[in-house]
């Protein structure tokens, strides 16, 4: 099975804690010289640069799995997960689904710029909130977050820009890219029994933002 097993750990200092100035200005820290992915802006007024940053972060998050990989991962239930459009099995690392949900919540702040679709409306957002809740509960970070006093607001406010121990997202991103079409770890799909109309419809649905099929 060629799924990632040993993922390097690294120390990462979080960024983005609000700062409050005595003259009333509120701002957040940002370091464009930091290592990827922290050298991009992921929030703010919608722009192509922000969308591009999220696309680079999440990228093509789905991969093709072999019959053996599917059976090893899900046991007797694996037949339930067969991709009836593309053939074989389609899955993705949970980290990229979680990031997708964070991005969906970001987009929901700007409904005029990112209108709802049939699949991405209130039910989808509630799903994302619930998934994020469970993810946070599951991993239960024990990093201590202090608070500091700001005269401008006459109270303490948290400083979340603390150092954390993280799995290397670069490693997970690179592994996922290697599982893409044309990647050296790509698993060819078994499309037997799928008619051409169904296949082409599935391909169209699964194109990435650049119009390419990821898996």
pLDDT at res. 36: 67
Q: How confident is the model at residue 180 (pLDDT cuts 50, 70, 90)?
A: very high
The average pLDDT across 83-108 equals: 96
User: Are 107 and 114 within 8 A, CB to CB?
Assistant: yes
Domain boundaries, given as residue ranges, for the chain: 9-205
The average pLDDT across 180-194 equals: 92
pLDDT at res. 2: 65
- pTM summary value: 0.89
């Amino acid at each position: 099975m060629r799924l990632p097993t040993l993922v390097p750990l690294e120390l990462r200092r979080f960024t983005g804690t609000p700062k409050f100035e005595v003259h009333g200005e509120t701002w957040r820290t940002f370091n464009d010289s930091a290592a990827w992915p922290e050298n991009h802006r992921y929030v703010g007024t919608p722009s192509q640069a922000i969308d591009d940053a999220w696309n680079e972060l999440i990228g093509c998050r789905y991969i093709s799995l072999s019959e053996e990989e599917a059976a090893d991962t899900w046991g007797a239930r694996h037949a339930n997960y067969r991709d009836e459009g593309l053939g074989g099995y389609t899955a993705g690392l949970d980290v990229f689904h979680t990031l997708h949900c964070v991005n969906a919540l970001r987009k929901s702040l700007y409904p005029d710029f990112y209108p709802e679709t049939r699949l991405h409306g209130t039910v989808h957002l509630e799903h994302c909130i619930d998934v994020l809740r469970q993810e946070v509960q599951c991993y239960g970070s024990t990093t201590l977050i202090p608070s500091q006093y700001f005269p401008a607001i006459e109270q303490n406010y948290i400083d979340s820009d603390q150092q954390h121990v993280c799995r290397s997202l670069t490693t997970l991103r690179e592994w996922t890219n290697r599982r893409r079409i044309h990647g050296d770890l790509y698993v060819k799909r078994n499309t037997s029994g799928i008619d051409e109309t169904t296949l082409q419809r599935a391909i169209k649905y699964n194109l990435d933002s650049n119009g390419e099929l990821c898996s």
